[in-house]
């Protein structure tokens, strides 16, 4: 059995395979993640981009985050499922949505970001390391 991370959109037109291990697993409570997901947060797995193989053509759109970082979000043009995100200023990073995994049980968050934007009804594990905004890269 491979320990690769595989997944894709709801209809199967957009797929990915990641051979490496996540750099981080993060629940993000920023307003953009709330708006895009329609929930209180998004759950992301962060990988090195060189470890990612993609299949299918995604539709992408960009927005600037609260910290000033441009985010390029990708979704399936057939079913509309959001699947991954990249940062043009950090091409070495590739972020996938936890729910897009073939085996979402592999997601175990280690931190939560943007707690200052959290909704009172979106309760995240209080044992996780929490940041009021986005921590800076070391």
Secondary structure letter of residue 102 according to DSSP: S
In a domain, 38, yes or no: yes
Number of domain units in the chain: 1
pLDDT computed for residue 80 by the predictor: 94
Report the SS3 class of residue 44.
strand
CB 27 within 8 A of CB 41: yes
Q: Where are the beta strands (DSSP E) in the chain?
A: 5-8, 15-18, 24-28, 42-48, 52-55, 59-64, 70-75, 82-87, 90-97, 111-113, 129-130
Query: Model confidence over 13-32: pLDDT tens digits?
Result: 999 999 999 999 999 999 88
Domain that holds residue 100: 5-115
In a domain, 15, yes or no: yes
In a domain, 122, yes or no: no
In a domain, 138, yes or no: no
In a domain, 124, yes or no: no
pLDDT at 1 over 50: no
Query: Model confidence over 48-84: pLDDT tens digits?
Result: 988 888 889 999 999 987 778 899 999 999 999 999 9
Secondary structure letter of residue 130 according to DSSP: E
pLDDT at 41 over 90: yes
d(CA 137, CA 64) in angstroms, rounded, equals 18
6 vs 137: which has the higher pLDDT = 6
In a domain, 135, yes or no: no
pLDDT computed for residue 134 by the predictor: 80
pLDDT computed for residue 9 by the predictor: 96
In a domain, 46, yes or no: yes
pTM over 0.75: yes
In a domain, 123, yes or no: no
pLDDT at 122 over 50: yes
CB 106 within 8 A of CB 125: no
Question: Can you give the CATH number for the domain in which 98 is found?
Answer: 2.170.150.70
pLDDT computed for residue 112 by the predictor: 96
């Amino acid at each position: 059995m491979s320990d690769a991370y595989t997944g894709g959109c709801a209809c199967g037109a957009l797929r990915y395979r990641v051979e490496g291990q996540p750099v981080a697993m993060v629940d993000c409570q920023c307003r953009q993640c709330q708006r895009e997901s329609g929930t209180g947060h998004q759950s992301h797995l962060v990988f090195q981009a060189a470890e990612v193989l993609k299949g299918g053509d995604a539709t992408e759109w960009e927005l600037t985050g609260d910290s000033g970082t441009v985010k390029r979000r990708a979704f399936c043009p057939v079913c509309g499922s959001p699947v991954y995100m990249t940062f043009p200023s950090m091409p070495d990073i590739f972020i996938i949505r936890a729910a897009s995994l073939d085996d979402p049980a592999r997601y175990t968050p280690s931190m939560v970001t943007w707690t200052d934007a959290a909704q009172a009804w979106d309760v995240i594990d209080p044992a996780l390391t929490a940041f009021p905004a986005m921590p800076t890269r070391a």
